[in-house]
């Protein structure tokens, strides 16, 4: 249940408690909240617990520079840290920190590892049950592992052969493909999930976690079939944050471990993971001639430049180039 926000103390006297409350009022994703809080605390500790209001752009530059020079973080990690501290000053404190001139990390972005279609099918063939179905959605629909395990019954549109991804990274909704080959397995999985839900209701339970304030706005929604997880956990559990007994979704780590074992069994020696299925979804669509803008929308990328990295992954040979040794 590590994707359920921790409760904020009623007496919000600490600085970070007030920061968290501010973030939740603006409906930041919980993972974004956790990430930003991590970097804000790192920034404060770096300057020996001095109050951020007393620090200037020079101190921000020193911290960001240390991430590049001493800790050798990647470009994306340094950008995330920058976003966190800019949010702290501009949004929370209402302070303009001015122009920053920090040392940028030289650890460049690497090309993502991808499967061939045959490799993806071999790995999927090593999986079973709902882990196989979740991984199939990563490859067939371009879902992240967290998006797959958080999928709700109402997010599956069988009539239009599409999925609605509502609890995505950055709280951005999108619509993506639902492979025809997964229609029957998904219908069976949803029937299983709803049968489990009915049993929970009969035993006096059946409530599911709802994001933000939806539980207060729609009191009966937490027990409705549409809000139930497609991949419910095997057992009910006490939510340590609220004390409510609920059935959560299966854990991301369970799926990751299963995929790791499947990779070993399949003899795939690439540095692959669950996210490789999502990368492979994009590269295979691109190789098949799908427009890059369509792929951007299916993946939920803000900037098409993020999606453009896949044009480098598909390989020159797939764009008609032939090695001189293979000519003639």
**C-beta neighbour count of 102 within 10 angstroms:** 19
Half-sphere exposure (Cβ direction) of 283: Cα atoms closer than 13 Å: 24
With H, G, I as helix, E, B as strand and everything else as coil, classify residue 250.
Answer: coil
How far is 299 from 276, CA to CA, in rounded Å? 13
Whole-angstrom Cα Rg for the chain? 23
- CB 183, CB 158: distance < 8 Å: yes
Instruction: Just list the catalytic residues.
Output: 144, 169, 275, 278, 301, 310
Q: How does DSSP classify residue 249?
A: B
Name 277's bridge partners: none
- How many Å apart are CA 132 and CA 137, to the nearest integer? 9
The tokens 């180039």 sit on which residue?
321
First-last CA distance in the chain: 60
How far is it, in rounded angstroms, from Cα 231 to Cα 21?
30
| N residues, the chain | 328
Contact in structure between 158 and 187 (CB atoms under 8 Å): yes
Please list the residues that pair with 232 across neighbouring strands. 249
Q: Which of 147, 164, 141, 137 is nearest to 29 (CA)?
A: 147
DSSP 221: G
DSSP strand pairing (162-165 vs 245-246) = unpaired
User: Which one, of 241, 225, 167, lies nearest residue 191 by Cα?
Assistant: 225
């Amino acid at each position: 249940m590590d994707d359920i926000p921790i409760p904020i103390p009623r007496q919000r006297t600490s600085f970070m408690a007030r920061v968290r409350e501010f973030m939740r009022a603006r409906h930041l994703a919980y993972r974004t909240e956790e990430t930003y809080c991590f970097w804000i605390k790192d920034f404060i500790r770096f300057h020996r617990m001095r109050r951020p209001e007393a620090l200037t752009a020079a101190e921000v530059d020193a911290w960001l520079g240390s991430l590049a020079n001493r800790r050798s973080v990647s470009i994306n990690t340094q950008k995330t840290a920058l976003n966190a501290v800019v949010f702290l000053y501009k949004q929370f404190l209402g302070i303009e920190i001015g122009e920053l001139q920090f040392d940028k990390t030289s650890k460049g972005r690497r090309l993502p590892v991808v499967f061939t279609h045959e490799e993806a099918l071999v790995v999927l063939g090593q999986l079973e049950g709902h882990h196989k179905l979740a991984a199939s959605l990563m490859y067939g629909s371009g879902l992240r592992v967290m998006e797959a395990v958080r999928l709700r019954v109402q997010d599956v549109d069988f009539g239009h052969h599409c999925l609605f991804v509502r609890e995505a990274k950055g709280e951005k909704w999108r619509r993506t493909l639902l492979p025809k080959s997964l229609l029957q397995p998904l219908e069976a999985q949803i029937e299983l999930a709803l049968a489990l839900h009915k049993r929970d209701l009969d035993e006096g339970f059946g409530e599911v976690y709802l994001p933000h304030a939806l539980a207060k706005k729609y009191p009966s929604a937490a027990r409705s079939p549409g809000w139930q997880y497609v991949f419910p956990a095997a057992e009910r559990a006490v939510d340590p944050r609220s004390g409510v007994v609920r059935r959560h979704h299966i854990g991301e780590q369970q799926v990751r471990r299963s995929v790791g074992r499947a990779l070993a069994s399949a003899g795939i020696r690439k540095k692959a993971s669950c996210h490789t299925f999502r990368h492979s979804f994009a590269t295979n669509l691109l190789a098949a001639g799908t427009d890059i803008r369509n792929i951007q929308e299916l993946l939920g990328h803000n900037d098409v430049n993020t999606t453009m990295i896949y044009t480098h992954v598909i390989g020159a040979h797939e764009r008609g180039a032939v090695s001189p040794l293979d000519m003639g």
